[in-house]
Amino acid sequence: MVSGVSSQLLESLTLGRLVAALVLFTISSFVVDFTWKPRYPKSLPRVGSSGSLIGTLKGWFYYVTRYHSWVTEGYEKYSKKGRAFVVPSAPCRPQEIVVPRSQTAWMLEQPDRVLSTKEAHRDTLHNDYQFFGVDDHFPIQTIHKHLARNIVGLIPAVQDEVHSAIDATFGKDTENWRSLNLWEAWLGIVPRVTNRIIVGVPLCRNQEFLKCQVGFADDVVRNSFLLDMFPRVFQPLVAPFFVSSNWWHWRKSYSYAKPVIEQRLHDMERKDSGVDPAYEDWQPPEDMLTWLIRQAKVDGLSGELKAEMLSKRILPVEFAAIHTTVVTGFNLLLDLLSSEPSLGYIDGIREETSRVFVEENGAWTKKGLARLHRTDSAIKESMRFSHFARALTHRKVVAAEGVTNAVEGWHAPYGAFLMLDMAGTHRDPELYPEPDKYDAWRFSREREAYEAKPAEEKGDTEEAMRIKKLGMVTTSPEYLPFSHGRHACPGRFFVAHELKMILAYLVQNYELKPLAERPKSMWVGANFIPPVQATIEIRRRKGTV
């Protein structure tokens, strides 16, 4: 009888019924997802869709192609008047409340128990799936405690790696112009330099290890977008399939990293024990791996002192450092090379970096890099002009009672998402004259004029501090590539040094042909997709070593 029932069931499962069941399940999943999402007060204006079920479904449908224009519209209609507004988000996430610049302080000063950066990142990047449930709290805490105090000592190693990586990527042919894919070129430089301070030599030069780390970063970007398109009910079903590439890249990279990590653990343990004379004068390399081990011992976290866990702890750092720095450097060269050659941007950076490099006796120092005002300005202006996301500052409401806005009075319930509009701010003509123009000296003119003044004319300390804040690492409500507030990117000082050294070595040692026009990027949802097929023409300058 059981066999007969089974046969009848199998016969009833026609292709049409299976497709209908799948469609019904999909629609039901989106409806269930809608009921789970937080509701926002009607007093908050909406752009792109209403707060109804139909309006939300419509917002999800058009999210990929219209999100950028929706936020632009909201910025002009509401943000510039000091009002927050609601914009549709990706299907798996709640609609976002776009907080105006005038309320930045209110948003960023909320305690983590009310508005959480960590939980916002966790949801946006799908950490539980993509980073195997290992969050980025411990490595970020470690960076905060160790990077700044060691950055002066790291500069010589970074300079060494920058020079070696660029020589290997661009070659030393002084006779023939070489056509290179610019995206691939930056991938040949940044992962090496970044890993010099994450895992050190020789692992930072292991091309297979670096390919895995780049592959993992690509996986995170791609999968974040794909998983955003599925309702949460679907995600446990599809996520294992998507993140299989994450697992593969991590496992392969771990096969190269494991002996290095185990040796470091052994060496540091012998050093700390004080019983082995061979380690009396030995000092561990100052890199992220050492800092993680050192911090785990200080905090008594024995579970962190395992090679596998340490290899997973560096994954969020690898992702953040590689992906954002490659995009930033890629955009920087496109912006410089597509500018009118008569503006002399490349020549100006070449003159400044060459002069300061000689004055620093051929070795970069923190003080010398701080003197590169034009170079700093060119990078900062590119970060203002060529964003790779609509927003980089997000918060998730984690307080059970929600949070009430002190300015307008609206209430955001538990689970709501808040964001600051970086792209709208950076292209606001009230903040930046001619905002749609790349002006490499936008932030250096005033600094150079100030530095040229006699000491007695430089004014008070307040003016000096204002001038200093024109540098790229200083965040503000008007400048958000590194976010702002207490959760601003802790690695931005290293990134600034790294990009300055890369740009300095490039322009001093290579000729680069101007581009007739800048290759076009494309908005997809909340992200700006760079033209990764762009190529440049480059040749080694004669007379360089």
Digit-coded pLDDT (tens) for 436-452: 999 999 999 988 888 77
% of residues, the chain, pLDDT over 70: 91
Nearest to 74 by CA among 99, 108, 50: 99
Highest mean pLDDT among 81-95, 492-506, 524-538: 492-506
The pLDDT of residue 98: 97
Nearest to 379 by CA among 425, 451, 444, 446: 444
pLDDT one-digit tens code per residue, 191-218: 999 999 999 999 999 999 999 999 999 9
The amino acid sitting at 45 is: P
What lies within 8 Å, CB to CB, of 251 at 6+ separation is: none
Q: pLDDT band at 543, cuts 50/70/90?
A: confident
Alpha carbons 89 and 86: distance in angstroms, whole number: 9
What lies within 8 Å, CB to CB, of 341 at 6+ separation is: 514
Computed on alpha carbons and rounded to an integer, the radius of gyration of the chain in Å comes to: 26
pLDDT one-digit tens code per residue, 351-394: 999 999 999 999 999 999 999 999 999 999 999 999 889 999 99
The pLDDT of residue 398: 97
- 3-state secondary structure string across 89-106: CCCCCCCEEEECHHHHHH
Concatenating the DSSP letter of every residue in 423-490 gives HHHHT-TTTSSSTTS--TTTTTHHHHHHHHS-GGGS--HHHHHHHHTTSTT--BTTB-TT--GGGS-T
Task: Label residue 341 exposed, middle or buried (CB < 10 Å: 0-12, 13-18, 19+).
Answer: exposed
pLDDT one-digit tens code per residue, 127-136: 999 998 888 8
The pLDDT of residue 55: 61
Q: Higher confidence at residue 426 or residue 2?
A: 426
The pLDDT of residue 234: 80
**Phi, psi (deg, nearest 5) at residue 410:** -70, 155
**C-beta of residue 372 within 8 angstroms of C-beta of residue 502:** no
Between the alpha carbon of residue 367 and those of residues 155, 355, 429, the distances in Å are 11, 14, 33
% of residues, the chain, pLDDT over 90: 73
Two tokens, residue 400: 């059970």
pLDDT one-digit tens code per residue, 118-171: 999 999 999 999 998 888 889 999 999 999 899 999 999 999 999 999 999 999
Which residues fall in the annotated binding site for heme? 489
State the alpha helices, DSSP H only, in 197-314: 207-228, 235-242, 244-273, 288-299, 307-313
* pLDDT for residue 33 is more than 80: no
The pLDDT of residue 53: 57
Which residues fall in the annotated binding site? 489
The pLDDT of residue 9: 45
Nearest to 250 by CA among 310, 182, 190: 310
Query: Cα 357 vs. chain centroid, distance in angstroms?
Result: 29
* Orientation of helix 182-196 relative to helix 207-228, angle to 10°: 110
pTM above 0.85, yes or no: yes
Two tokens, residue 419: 């964001």
Of 16-20, 127-131, 395-399, 459-463, which range is least confident?
16-20
**C-beta of residue 122 within 8 angstroms of C-beta of residue 128:** yes
Two tokens, residue 276: 């082995």
The amino acid sitting at 465 is: M
Q: pLDDT band at 35, cuts 50/70/90?
A: low
* pLDDT for residue 264 is more than 50: yes
Q: What is the mean pLDDT of the chain?
A: 90
Average pLDDT estimate for 460-473: 81
What lies within 8 Å, CB to CB, of 193 at 6+ separation is: 158, 161, 162, 165, 204, 498, 502
Average pLDDT estimate for 298-320: 94
Average pLDDT estimate for 526-530: 89
